[in-house]
Structure 1
Amino acid sequence: MPLAPRILTLPGWLGSGPRHWQSRWEVLYGDQRVEQEDWEWPRRGDWMARLEEVLLADPRPTVLVAHSLGCQLVASWAAHSRHTQRVRGALLVAPPDPERTDTPPQLYSWRPVVRQPLPFPATAVISSDDPFCSPERAIDMVVQWSGTLVNLGPRGHLNADSGLGDWPEGRALLEALCAAG
């Protein structure tokens, strides 16, 4: 019988607070957060190295659950790692656009956005009024990543301020991704 996948949560810039659905899932389901050394000045290479380190520390297959800049982390890491076969799939929620002209300097190392197909199944969830990415740019990234798109309509950045709570609909998307992988 195959091992159940381990779920790794990948928060975005500044992390995910206690009301965020990622933090709630960690408490409810035992998902494991990939803690980064610097949440305020996230350097792409450092975040990629940390994801690789956590991924290789456990032999179980893994599903990645990324929010915001965590989505860019998944794309960047997958483009460079030789260990992508350890990932069964990824749930990518609210990918931001770090190439926007109003991007804070702390996020400049995330330019350019990696746009190559992911080597594992991915479901991307976007909002039509995300303040950090237009729906057109989000759709473009998801298509280039070869992901399946779910548009929740006007829900903001799909974070604690979006009123998602425990976000059972998102968990159902994750479970479907795990079952398909």
Structure 2
Amino acid sequence: MTRYLLIPGRGIPFPNHWSRQWARAHRNYTWAPEPPGPPYVAEDRVDALHTAIAASDEPAILIAHSAGCMTVCLWAAEHTGPVTGALLVTPPAHDHAPRGRLPFPAIAVISRNDPHCPYDDGVQLAHDWGAELHDAGPVGHLDSKSGFGPWPEGEKLLARLT
């Protein structure tokens, strides 16, 4: 059975955020880690993700939002495990963002008007990671503030990784 690990960004997703809705709707979706509050400490997040991945030999699909995308890429640069794919949703642009090719299939969802990542930077991240680029259009940071509670398009993208 495939596990789905939700990797949060810097803050705590609001209750109506698509990731929270997915966690409530699906028994086999778990947080890695349970959404902590700020500050974002990369080493702690990578350790928590590694613990979650290593907890089972069952295949895992990673679902990351914002800074959670950085957590996934940092984990992939240092560890291996039964990860079969990743949905990387609106990664932030950072000079220190991991740029190595991911060892598993990935889809990078890039917004045309994300306040945390110019579109061209997101396209470059997707390319560097070897991820399929999904141009989400002008969806902001694809979070509750941008009007995203439900996100059926994301569920369709996720289904392509299974």
- The bucket for the TM-score relative to the shorter chain is over 0.9
Paired residues of 1:93 and 1:126 also in contact (CA < 8 A) = yes
Deviates more, 1:31-40 or 1:116-125: 31-40
Match of 1:14 in 2: 11
Higher strand proportion: 2
Q: Does 1:163 align with 2:147?
A: yes
CA RMSD of aligned residues (A): 1.3
Match of 2:39 in 1: 41
Match of 2:76 in 1: 78
Segments of 5+ residues of structure 2 without an aligned counterpart are none
Match of 1:138 in 2: 122
For normalisation by structure 1, the TM-score amounts to 0.85
Q: Deviations over 1:34-63 (max 9, x none)?
A: 125853111111111110011111221100
Paired residues of 2:65 and 2:88 also in contact (CA < 8 A) = yes
> Measured at CA, do residues 63 and 149 of structure 1 come closer, stay the same or move farther in structure 2, by a change above 3 Å?
same
Q: SS state of the match for residue 10, structure 2? A: coil
Q: SS state of the match for residue 107, structure 2? A: strand
1:90 partner letter = A
Paired residues of 2:143 and 2:149 also in contact (CA < 8 A) = no
Alignment partners' CA distance in 2, 1:62 and 1:146 = 19
- 4+ long deviations beyond 3 Å: none
Match of 2:159 in 1: 175
Q: Does 1:51 align with 2:53?
A: no
Identity %: 37
Segments of 5+ residues of structure 1 without an aligned counterpart are 100-111
For normalisation by structure 2, the TM-score amounts to 0.94
